[in-house]
Structure 1
């Protein structure tokens, strides 16, 4: 089969012929039609991720059809259109992943290929209203957003939500999911164009996170503080988020792209009685809940652009430069 292979840190991915994997007991072989990029792929390419090994086929998100079945797998899965849950071996504790948890695309070969081998428990029926490219744009970002909003963030209809860094895949999906559940959503971004795009998806409005005093400004703009804040940046901007949080509010961090939290005023945390929460990926129950909401509301993930598999390196460079607004997708078949 054809696959994009990463041979080492800082190397471009190379399209080459590799052996087609064979499904073992309890596994299926999915013939992929589309795969989607995540920042995780860029971090692995840069060597900024734990557990590196090379060569590796990147890619956590994918959609296709079940082509082969391993021993013990239900025969009705054969030839079914499916979407892949990229989280494997979460463990028995729904509150946090276990030591064996892993994400498709490292350490196991991922979806930037014509075929991928995954546990049968990790394939779900593809939502009928989505194309293969749209379905491929959903899994990792979708389950991350779903868990941050609902499982960890306990979002309720009509609550006021702030989602930072709109334009990235998780943030946009969080916006769509929150709007679908009847929340009042506001956003931040580094560019006015991305805020305007968010408003077309249901956001009430937003501000630049580069603006001095943006926490107070957001509260004034929104007409009140925020019940739930979803953030992936952390860093020095957390002080502004604490300023914007409502008493009894929740802050959920699913990343830390701007580094260590500095100059965080603890008075806001204890006086407002805030919940500071972390969230990573999601359980099988989170993934099933995501698909239930997507099917119920006919939600369609936002795609920035689609590249052929052979142009995967160009897609990675677009992601690394932060140019996209929505998911970057590779068309495979």
Structure 2
């Protein structure tokens, strides 16, 4: 089968499009013939975490396709089922943190940038009928990350003010859509006028430029919940937008991991700071029910043929995307 393999060199230079031996599912597993797959920032990180001396690896965590083989003991799914891949392996129920042994599709085992993938049967989840193959293939990792950050950790409720710095990526666009569907008022920021305009089309109350005075632009509006993924460049500006007793949930740090905050301001403000990553199988199920009820679809940026991987990876690396980047893989 055709696959995108990473080997011998770190970064994008180590990727090559070629052949991989087809294998059969073992007990409790299914094989999915993939139609589409989604590109995530995680895939960029994997290109450096996966060492050149390691065996070749198929990267990719998101995908959708049709089950074409099942292993012994599999119940609940069968050949011909249209499914999406839940990329979280070994995290079944909602919990404070992932269990020991939790992994994500695409490292250490082969991922979705191939014509086929073998996963545990429980990770092949029925594709909602309202999603196209392109939409289904790019949804899972970003949507699950957004769902846990917003609902499980952030406890979003109708009427809340929610602030999302750095709109434009896959998780952020899901956060906006999810929060709106939950009845919240959503405020966003971006360096890009195009991304700000798209956020307004998706229902944001206001879309601020990254370099403007947010306090002045918001004219006294304070936030109940901030969902942060930008990191060092925005964390203190975000704190200033938070009401006393409000909550910041962070799931990323694209501009740096180390920050300084004024602890006295923090504890007098009675603020809450929570971390979040990915989510459990239970949260994935709840997320699928939520997007089905509200007919939510991912914002699609561009779809590429898998052999055109270099253009796709560079577009993500340069943060030019608005929403999700995907591949046609089968």
Alignment TM class, shorter chain as reference = over 0.9
**Mapping 1:44-83, distance limit 5 Å:** 44-45=46-47, 47-48=48-49, 53-74=54-75, 76-83=77-84
> Which residue matches 1:4?
4
Change (3 A) 1:318 1:127: same
Q: CA deviation at 1:218?
A: 4.7
> Which residue matches 2:137?
136
**Mapping 1:1-333, distance limit 5 Å:** 1-7=1-7, 8-10=9-11, 11-45=13-47, 47-48=48-49, 53-74=54-75, 76-90=77-91, 94-211=95-212, 213-214=213-214, 216-220=215-219, 223-333=220-330
Higher mean displacement: 14-23 or 290-299: 14-23
Higher mean displacement: 141-150 or 181-190: 181-190
Q: What is the CA–CA distance in structure 1 between the aligned matches of 2:93 and 2:294, rounded to whole Å? A: 30
Say whether the 8 Å CA contact 1:143–1:287 is kept in structure 2: yes
Higher mean displacement: 48-57 or 259-268: 48-57
Q: What do the CA deviations read for 1:191-230 (whole angstroms, capped 9, x no partner)? A: 121111101001111212233x43x23542xx51000000
Q: What is the CA–CA distance in structure 1 between the aligned matches of 2:89 and 2:246, rounded to whole Å? A: 31
Change (3 A) 1:93 1:138: closer
Change (3 A) 1:200 1:89: same
Paired residues, number: 328
Q: CA deviation at 1:90?
A: 2.1
**TM-score normalised by length of structure 2:** 0.95
Change (3 A) 1:289 1:75: closer
Q: What is the CA–CA distance in structure 2 between the aligned matches of 1:49 and 1:161, rounded to whole Å? A: 36
Q: What is the CA–CA distance in structure 2 between the aligned matches of 1:148 and 1:84, rounded to whole Å? A: 20
Q: Which runs of 5+ in 2 are unaligned?
A: none
Q: What is the CA–CA distance in structure 2 between the aligned matches of 1:53 and 1:130, rounded to whole Å? A: 36
**TM-score normalised by length of structure 1:** 0.94
Q: CA deviation at 1:21?
A: 2.6
Alignment RMSD, CA only?
1.8
Q: What is the CA–CA distance in structure 1 between the aligned matches of 2:255 and 2:49, rounded to whole Å? A: 14
Change (3 A) 1:236 1:318: closer
Q: CA deviation at 1:306?
A: 0.5
Change (3 A) 1:198 1:149: same
Q: What is the CA–CA distance in structure 1 between the aligned matches of 2:76 and 2:280, rounded to whole Å? A: 25
Helix, strand or coil for the counterpart of 1:77? coil
Q: What is the CA–CA distance in structure 2 between the aligned matches of 1:264 and 1:236, rounded to whole Å? A: 12
Say whether the 8 Å CA contact 2:31–2:116 is kept in structure 1: yes
Q: What is the CA–CA distance in structure 2 between the aligned matches of 1:148 and 1:54, rounded to whole Å? A: 34
